[in-house]
């Protein structure tokens, strides 16, 4: 499998090179030259396959001969060794719970897969790899957990000061050792822009071996397809595929789902569930993609004003707007609507949503109201305990804190405060 840059200037590379580089030299994102089609037997007999077998068969064509089959099998087993249940909320809506991994967020899947791939690739390399990652919330914790103590790898995480939840901040600032946290006085987009500048800085890349652990990296992005197949495995109406609503920020997650659909996974329609950072909602109305300054919301992991991965969605549909519009809708949900949804779903169905899941639920609810007779699922991307203020005030009770989180909250934060200034960031990396 070869990968080309979405900017169409840099040359094609294999999976190993795409993983190590993170971003193409021409600042584009790597995209597979061929979208492999899933064996029809896997779809028609999906109930008879284990999650590990499904994941292996999905990812193997993308990896090619970059990793031996026995090692790839071990990587896959370690990636998906936790529960990913589909839970019925009401008669027409189910929740795919992606928060049962070590950091209680959907990003555990991609971060665990990528860390193990990169760890394999750098074995025996005398150069130390520096992984750069910008986070609006859950990515930082998942990457910190996935890469913790991986030999030959240093991780630098940039996060917007005051704009992540207390649990998220503890997860990305407390590991220590090879995990370094930079608290940026700015927005997620500022963090992401500094990371992109670093990759484009020849002086820096000549001195440091850099790669990215954001969803721009193919090894982070591609394995997110796994749980869409797991959802279909648990879907009772196999002859009536689901509508899938995905809380969307940087658009890597929903892009992986759309890629899975293009590979042969039965999906009726996708919904990009957005908070007020809704440039894709506007794009679907105007056909003009206009980035804007990110606004802080309760669903902070989605506070992205310029989603990097949307260009990959355009690639999947070959930049044909009618094709995209036929398979993708988008809704914009406010904080007030998020809070009322958390409260109403708890009161009606005794199900606790996190703010991101609430955006996903309400978007799906609105779509199904306009399309009677259809059913669907939304992605519950993080455990509600990560957002105690919004959730507890909405449902009127305290959320039981998992044991792992209780011990985490007693640890001391380790971070360095910097301005949203590239030169300061560069100086930090060089020292």
Do the beta carbons of residue 195 and residue 133 sit within 8 Å? yes
Q: What is the pLDDT of residues 337-394, one digit of tens each?
A: 999 999 999 999 999 999 999 999 999 999 999 999 999 999 999 999 989 889 999 9
- Quick check: is 259 in a domain? yes
Q: Whose CA is closest to 376, among 245, 262, 252?
A: 245
Q: In which band, very low, low, confident or very high, does the pLDDT at 183 lie, cut at 50, 70 and 90?
A: very high
Kindly tell me if the per-residue pLDDT of 19 is higher than 80: yes
Both tokens of 397, joined, read 């009770």
Kindly tell me if the per-residue pLDDT of 196 is higher than 90: no
Per-residue pLDDT averaged across 210-236, rounded?
94
Q: Please indicate whether residue 177 is annotated as part of the active site.
A: no
Q: Which of 8, 16, 107, 397 is catalytic?
A: 107
Domain interval for residue 350: 83-106+221-399
Per-residue pLDDT averaged across 312-317, rounded?
97
Place of tokens 């991994």: 101
Q: What is the pLDDT of residue 7?
A: 96
Bridge partners (DSSP) listed for residue 418: 184
* DSSP string covering 86-131: EEE-SSSEEEEE---STTSBTHHHHHHHHHHHHHHHTTT-SSPEEE
Spatial distance between the Cα atoms of 362 and 358, rounded to a whole number of angstroms: 6
Burial grade of 233 (CB within 10 A; 0-12, 13-18, 19 or more):
buried
Task: Please list, in sequence order, all residues whose beta carbon lies within 8 angstroms of the beta carbon of residue 277, skipping any fewer than 6 positions away.
Answer: 249, 292, 294, 295, 297, 302, 303, 304, 305
- Side by side, the strands of the sheet bearing 416-419 are 209-212, 129-134, 153-160, 179-185, 416-419
| Average pLDDT across the chain, whole number | 94
Q: What is the pLDDT of residues 237-287, one digit of tens each?
A: 999 999 999 999 889 999 999 999 999 999 999 999 999 999 999 999 999
Q: Are strands 243-247 and 269-274 parallel, antiparallel or unpaired?
A: parallel
- Quick check: is 409 in a domain? no
Spatial distance between the Cα atoms of 209 and 282, rounded to a whole number of angstroms: 38
Q: What are the φ/ψ torsions at residue 87 (nearest 5 degrees)?
A: -115, 130
Q: What is the pLDDT of residue 165?
A: 85
Cα within 13 Å of Cα(158), Cβ side = 31
Kindly tell me if the per-residue pLDDT of 190 is higher than 90: yes
Count how many domains the chain has.
Answer: 1
- Quick check: is 300 in a domain? yes
Q: What is the pLDDT of residues 392-406, one digit of tens each?
A: 999 999 998 887 788
Q: What is the pLDDT of residues 56-96, one digit of tens each?
A: 999 999 999 999 999 999 999 999 999 999 999 999 999 99
pTM over 0.85: yes
Q: What is the pLDDT of residue 355?
A: 97
- Quick check: is 34 in a domain? no
- Quick check: is 285 in a domain? yes
CATH code assigned at 325: 3.40.50.1100
Q: What is the pLDDT of residue 51?
A: 97
**What 3-state DSSP class applies to 132?**
strand
Q: What is the pLDDT of residue 417?
A: 97
- Quick check: is 202 in a domain? no
Q: What is the pLDDT of residue 150?
A: 86
Kindly tell me if the per-residue pLDDT of 98 is higher than 90: yes
Per-residue pLDDT averaged across 6-33, rounded?
94
Kindly tell me if the per-residue pLDDT of 301 is higher than 90: no
Spatial distance between the Cα atoms of 178 and 175, rounded to a whole number of angstroms: 8
Q: What is the pLDDT of residue 21?
A: 87
pLDDT over 70 for what percent of the chain?
100
Distance of CA 417 to the CA centre of its chain: 25
Q: What is the pLDDT of residues 114-137, one digit of tens each?
A: 999 998 998 877 778 999 999 877
- Quick check: is 330 in a domain? yes
Kindly tell me if the per-residue pLDDT of 200 is higher than 90: no
Q: What is the pLDDT of residue 215?
A: 85
Kindly tell me if the per-residue pLDDT of 139 is higher than 90: no
Q: What is the pLDDT of residue 375?
A: 98
E-strand ranges in 198-346 read: 209-212, 243-247, 269-274, 328-332
Burial grade of 350 (CB within 10 A; 0-12, 13-18, 19 or more):
exposed
The sign of the dihedral angle between the CA atoms of 261, 257, 236, 347 is: negative
- Quick check: is 252 in a domain? yes
């Amino acid at each position: 499998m070869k990968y080309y840059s979405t900017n169409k200037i840099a040359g094609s590379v294999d999976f190993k090179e795409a993983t190590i580089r993170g971003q193409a030299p021409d600042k584009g994102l790597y995209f597979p030259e061929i979208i492999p089609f899933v064996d029809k037997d896997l779809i028609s007999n999906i109930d008879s396959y284990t999650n590990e077998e499904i994941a292996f068969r999905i990812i193997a064509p993308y990896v090619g001969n970059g990793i031996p089959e026995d090692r790839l099998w071990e990587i896959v087993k370690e990636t998906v060794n936790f529960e990913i249940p589909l839970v019925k909320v009401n008669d027409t809506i189910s929740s795919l719970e992606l928060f049962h991994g070590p950091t209680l967020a959907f990003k555990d899947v991609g971060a665990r897969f990528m860390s193990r791939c990169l760890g394999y690739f750098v074995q025996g390399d005398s150069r130390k790899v520096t992984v750069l990652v910008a986070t609006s919330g859950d990515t930082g914790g998942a990457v910190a957990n996935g890469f913790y103590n991986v030999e030959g790898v240093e991780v630098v995480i940039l996060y917007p000061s005051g704009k992540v939840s207390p649990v998220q901040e503890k997860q990305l600032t407390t590991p220590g050792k090879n995990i370094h946290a930079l608290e940026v006085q700015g927005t997620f987009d500022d963090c992401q822009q500094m990371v992109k500048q670093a990759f484009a800085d020849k002086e820096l890349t000549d001195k440091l071996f850099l790669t990215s652990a954001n969803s721009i990296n193919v090894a982070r992005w591609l394995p997110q397809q796994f749980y869409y197949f797991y959802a279909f495995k648990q879907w009772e109406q196999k002859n009536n595929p689901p509508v899938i609503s995905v809380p969307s920020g940087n658009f890597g997650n929903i892009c992986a789902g759309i890629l899975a659909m293009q590979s042969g996974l039965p999906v009726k329609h996708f919904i990009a569930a957005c908070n007020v950072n809704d440039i894709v909602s506007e794009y679907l109305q105007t056909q003009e993609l206009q980035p804007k300054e990110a606004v802080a919301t309760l669903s902070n992991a989605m506070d992205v004003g310029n989603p990097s991965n949307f260009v990959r969605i355009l690639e999947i549909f070959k930049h044909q707007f009618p094709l995209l519009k036929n398979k993708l809708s988008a809704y914009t949900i406010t904080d007030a609507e998020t809070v009322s949804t958390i409260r109403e779903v708890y009161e009606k169905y005794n199900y606790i949503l996190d703010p991101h899941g609430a955006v996903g639920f309400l978007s799906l609810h609105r779509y199904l109201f306009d399309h009677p007779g259809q059913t669907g699922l939304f992605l519950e991307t993080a455990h509600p305990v990560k957002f105690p203020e919004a959730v507890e005030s909405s449902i009127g009770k305290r959320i039981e804190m998992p044991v792992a989180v209780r011990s985490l909250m007693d640890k001391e934060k380790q971070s360095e405060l910097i301005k949203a200034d590239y030169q300061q960031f560069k100086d930090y990396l060089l020292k």
